[in-house]
Amino acid sequence: MFTVILDTLSAAANEIDLERLALAAVDVVGAIISVLL
Protein backbone atom coordinates (compact mmCIF):
# COMPACT_ATOMS: atom_id res chain seq x y z
CA MET A 1 0.00 0.00 0.00
CA PHE A 2 2.72 2.45 0.98
CA THR A 3 4.71 1.62 -2.15
CA VAL A 4 1.71 2.53 -4.27
CA ILE A 5 1.35 5.81 -2.37
CA LEU A 6 5.03 6.65 -2.86
CA ASP A 7 4.85 5.84 -6.56
CA THR A 8 1.76 8.02 -6.90
CA LEU A 9 3.39 10.92 -5.10
CA SER A 10 6.55 10.57 -7.18
CA ALA A 11 4.55 10.65 -10.40
CA ALA A 12 2.44 13.53 -9.13
CA ALA A 13 5.53 15.55 -8.21
CA ASN A 14 6.63 15.41 -11.83
CA GLU A 15 3.29 16.66 -13.16
CA ILE A 16 1.72 19.01 -10.63
CA ASP A 17 2.92 21.87 -8.47
CA LEU A 18 4.02 21.48 -4.86
CA GLU A 19 0.84 23.03 -3.48
CA ARG A 20 -1.34 20.36 -5.05
CA LEU A 21 1.15 17.68 -4.01
CA ALA A 22 1.00 18.93 -0.41
CA LEU A 23 -2.80 18.83 -0.46
CA ALA A 24 -2.71 15.29 -1.84
CA ALA A 25 -0.23 14.27 0.86
CA VAL A 26 -2.56 15.66 3.54
CA ASP A 27 -5.43 13.63 2.08
CA VAL A 28 -3.28 10.48 2.08
CA VAL A 29 -2.19 11.02 5.69
CA GLY A 30 -5.79 11.63 6.71
CA ALA A 31 -6.86 8.41 5.02
CA ILE A 32 -4.10 6.43 6.74
CA ILE A 33 -5.02 7.89 10.13
CA SER A 34 -8.70 7.07 9.63
CA VAL A 35 -7.76 3.49 8.72
CA LEU A 36 -5.51 3.12 11.77
CA LEU A 37 -8.21 4.51 14.04
Would you state the pLDDT for residue 30?
A: 93
Q: Which domain holds residue 6?
A: 2-36
This prediction has a pTM of 0.47
Question: Residue 1: what pLDDT?
Answer: 65
Query: Could you report the per-residue pLDDT of 1-37, keeping only the tens digit for each?
Result: 678 878 887 777 666 677 777 888 899 999 999 999 8
pLDDT of the residue at 26: 93
Distances (CA, A) of 1 to 17, 18, 29, 32: 24, 22, 13, 10
Number of structural domains (the chain) is 1
